[in-house]
Structure 1
Amino acid sequence: MEINFLALLLAALSTLVVGFIWYNPKVFGGIWMRETGMTEESAKGANMVMIFGMSVVYAFFISFVLQFLTIHQFGAIGMIGGDIEHAKPSYAAFMGDYGDAFRSFKHGALHGFMSGLFLALPVIGTNALYERRSWKYTLVTGGFWIVCFMIMGGIICAMK
């Protein structure tokens, strides 16, 4: 099983689409700005090319890890040490039987949801505690990443 870099890139880019919607002032952007102390004036001085570019790079890192959490077949590859050339015939038989099992957007979104809820949200929440951020900030930011992980997981898992 090879890494699908196109799927990882599309998953990473999907975070920008979700972010444009999620952080729109008519959705959660107004709450987020109030909770972070961000103003429209301070936002105008930012280097948006660098911010969006690094956001995609970081999201690509996330998508790289999400493929191992959403695609069960990577577990079989891990069981043989990652080198398919030295795998026993039982590996080929297993992949023949289960090579495309659970490879759907829906299944990837489920694993993305669980990863977002049990990985991203606790990281955001822990940082928010030490940064003295509000529960509103935690829910808006954590919710954003849960939705992103769901979409990313769905894309990665569905694209074979």
Structure 2
Amino acid sequence: MELLNPVAMLVAAVSALVVGFIWYNPKVFGNAWMKAAGMTDEQVKGGNMAKIFGLALLFAFLLATALPGIVIHQMGVFSLIGGDPSVVLPSYEALMADYGDAFRTYKHGALHGVLTGVLIALPIIGTNALFERKGAKYIFINAGYWIVTLGVMGAIICGWK
């Protein structure tokens, strides 16, 4: 059984941009985010969008490569063999035969993704925002985006076998 699905990881990375298009839309949180970030329409439109979206997709893919270790429990078992299938013992095969699909659902991946957002993304964004002298609205808009995005990414990576 393959634990990693490269197509799911790519789709999960793209999902970060899709969620961002919705989340930061002016009709959702876009205007509030611009105000909280101290950005103007001219500043937002003045950036090199190809570079911004290209790097955002690259960063999202890096996240997608890290998430399997968080959202797929079997990755812990896989790590015990050091990722080298040539050293697999019958006990590994038996364990994976019994538990290879345990907790491999979209719902479970979303749970772990949301927890990752709350326990990792929120503290990082919050700490940076405090030193940047940004307010609570800025923290919650940006952290909310990452909590939702990591939930979606976790669901895709864990559930899509």
TM-score between both structures, scaled by the size of structure 1: 0.97
Q: Tell me the residue number matched to 2:153.
A: 152
Where does 1:58-77 land on structure 2 (aligned, <5 Å)?
Answer: 58-77=59-78
Q: Tell me the residue number matched to 1:78.
A: 79
Q: Percent of aligned pairs with the same residue?
A: 54
* Number of equivalent positions: 160
For 1:92 and 1:141, the matched residues in 2 are separated by 42
Gaps of 5+ in 1: none
Alignment of 1:51 with 2:39, yes or no, is no
Gaps of 5+ in 2: none
- Where does structure 1 differ by over 2 angstroms across 4 or more consecutive aligned residues? none
Which amino acid in the other structure matches residue 153 of structure 2? M
For 2:101 and 2:108, the matched residues in 1 are separated by 12
Q: Tell me the residue number matched to 1:89.
A: 90
Where does 1:11-26 land on structure 2 (aligned, <5 Å)?
Answer: 11-26=12-27
Q: Is the Cα–Cα contact under 8 Å of residues 77 and 84 in structure 1 kept in the other structure?
A: no
Q: Secondary structure at the match of 2:44?
A: helix
Which amino acid in the other structure matches residue 46 of structure 2? G
Q: Offset of 1:25 from its aligned partner?
A: 1.1
Which amino acid in the other structure matches residue 100 of structure 2? G
Q: Offset of 1:100 from its aligned partner?
A: 1.0
Q: Tell me the residue number matched to 1:122.
A: 123
Q: Is the Cα–Cα contact under 8 Å of residues 67 and 154 in structure 2 kept in the other structure?
A: yes
For 1:14 and 1:106, the matched residues in 2 are separated by 16
Q: Secondary structure at the match of 1:127?
A: helix
Q: Secondary structure at the match of 2:119?
A: helix
Q: Offset of 1:81 from its aligned partner?
A: 2.2
